[in-house]
Structure 1
């Protein structure tokens, strides 16, 4: 699967941009003279750009050569992060984050089917997990690297990685002929089909739960578990390493056991680990163990839901023959 490494690199750049903000938010807020709560809007607007921008861009771009579109999107992502790196105020940061967020969501919307198309059917789960490996590795090194070199240098580096990923995609991914485009109305109509609606709902709730907690993990560790800033950095590294393990395990289990079985196990484990984190937040050792378990289950689900969505799209997508309603 060497060609998939270009998508891994793209996901790695995206992952650093998304996750590094957790450790850098206090420094960014101080530099642009806003409080941390206001600075947290950088996370909110990034998420909104993914949620709103991705369907709009996907509906426009899905009809064109995926290699060309992914190359253009990673270039746009790089420009958005460069804008963040040089912006002197919150408005400029917001604009850059919105641009990068819109590209982020669309890269995964177009990239996952490309990854699936490059391997035999029985290895689709592993192919998608290889793409998402970049995202999880970014969680391991993103925060420590960002803390070490500062936030402006970090986003400059992310911009460079985004541009490098754009070049890698252009060189390594084969040209994919134009296909029938998917209009926004057709995307929304897919929600009328219960299997797809459930899959999207599981994705939103599962990742929403993880990142709602992750955004404020640093103050939780400092104020409740009593960790020092240095220790918090290593706890975040532990969480990232756990997500790498969960992602790789999820890909293998999805190909072996099926996506639905893995989704059920991952959701149960995610709910249990987050509940335990809440109940034992004042106990440092218990918090550390729960964070590791949470990381595994949080990304165990990732290859499974992506593989399941790609599979369902072959039945429920526009122009496809649909099975009887479940």
Structure 2
């Protein structure tokens, strides 16, 4: 458990870096002279860096000791956030985000199988959910506090703190994660070969659309809450805290339920729940009380889906040769962030055209597409693989 917590700390730092922009976009946009929609490209670029670079870096780094690879990656993550904190203009901000994002994706690609290897196979989903817990705790504590710090002292101070946390997590991993020795190389060709497996390829589609859908709304939650329901900065921070607390519940429940019930049913329930929640956001956007309730329920389903999706992909790749699980994990992380990039970009386009209260339409369309695709991830062979590997 203690060893897993070092990876949880890394995920916590990563979670703040990825999500804290939600509360800081208007401030950053004002300082850098761009619109809020354009500032949303900082989220999109970060996610695209993960999507494009994670498979490449996973291919290269998989041949080395996972312990020291994770240490190096968290060091690079800290440097990227230092660049963000000291950036002189918007282009430099984007560069720092790309470096931090490249490290982020590979940490999860290598860290998720490393976490699963530390526990018995029947507890793999819960081990992965403990790593993802860092992301959800970042939602609860890091994002609201980072938003308060950024608005009070300046947004750059928030990224200085994130850089420090990245360095601390690198030290914790070095001290606590056991050395694995040289690993099996994961070729880029081998990763792409996994995409020929229909259930696995469709899992990535569901990952991108289903998990990413949240970010069509969440990226622009601050203007949605202020324009629609009249929340001030303090009220937005409170709702971010509420959303974050709900994601912790969803994350832990997702891992436990996937181990108990299987990944497929939990993924389906999460997608249906998200569709209901995005409809609820559309209907409650102008009511301060109703939107608060909807945000809390939405937070549960937003992260209920992540552990079973990651565990599902890893289980389907099991037995496919050296490094297949790392490859499947890396591609699923890429899919998570391809979805975030698509959704945050599309949400920004809709925000500029029709206002923040229209962004839930984007999320609803994406999650309904995920629901339409989801039956294909559970073929006869897939059910067997998941029962053996995750249930």
Interval of TM-score (by shorter of Structure 1 and Structure 2): over 0.9
Post-superposition offset of 1:14? 0.1
RMSD: 1.6
1:188 match: secondary structure: helix
1:162 matched to 2:166? The reply is yes
1:305 matched to 2:309? The reply is yes
CA distance in 2, matches of 1:285, 1:52: 40
2:92 alignment counterpart: 92
2:46 alignment counterpart: 46
2:109 alignment counterpart: 109
After TM superposition, the structure 1 = structure 2 runs for residues 1-326 of structure 1, keeping only pairs within 5 Å, are: 1-150=1-150, 151-317=155-321
Post-superposition offset of 1:252? 1.1
Unaligned runs of 5+ in 2: 325-378, 383-391
Unaligned runs of 5+ in 1: none
CA distance in 2, matches of 1:216, 1:102: 23
1:83 match: secondary structure: helix
CA distance in 2, matches of 1:306, 1:225: 35
The Cα offsets for residues 274-314 of structure 1, whole Å up to 9 and x where unpaired, read as 12212332222221111111110111111111111111121
Which consecutive aligned stretches of 4+ in structure 1 deviate over 4 angstroms post-superposition?
A: 317-320, 323-326
Q: TM-score, normalised by structure 1?
A: 0.95
2:175 match: secondary structure: helix
Q: Using the TM superposition, name which of 271-280 and 88-97 deviates more.
A: 271-280
The Cα offsets for residues 248-287 of structure 1, whole Å up to 9 and x where unpaired, read as 1111111111111211111111111112212332222221
Q: Say whether the 8 Å CA contact 1:15–1:138 is kept in structure 2.
A: yes
The Cα offsets for residues 88-116 of structure 1, whole Å up to 9 and x where unpaired, read as 11111111000000111111111100000
Paired residues in the alignment total 324
Q: TM-score, normalised by structure 2?
A: 0.80
Distance change >3 Å, CA 186–CA 324, structure 1 → 2: farther
1:192 match: secondary structure: coil
Q: Say whether the 8 Å CA contact 1:4–1:131 is kept in structure 2.
A: yes
Q: Using the TM superposition, name which of 158-167 and 206-215 deviates more.
A: 206-215
Post-superposition offset of 1:324? 8.2
The structure showing larger relative contact order (alpha-carbon pairs under 8 Å, at least 6 residues apart) is 2
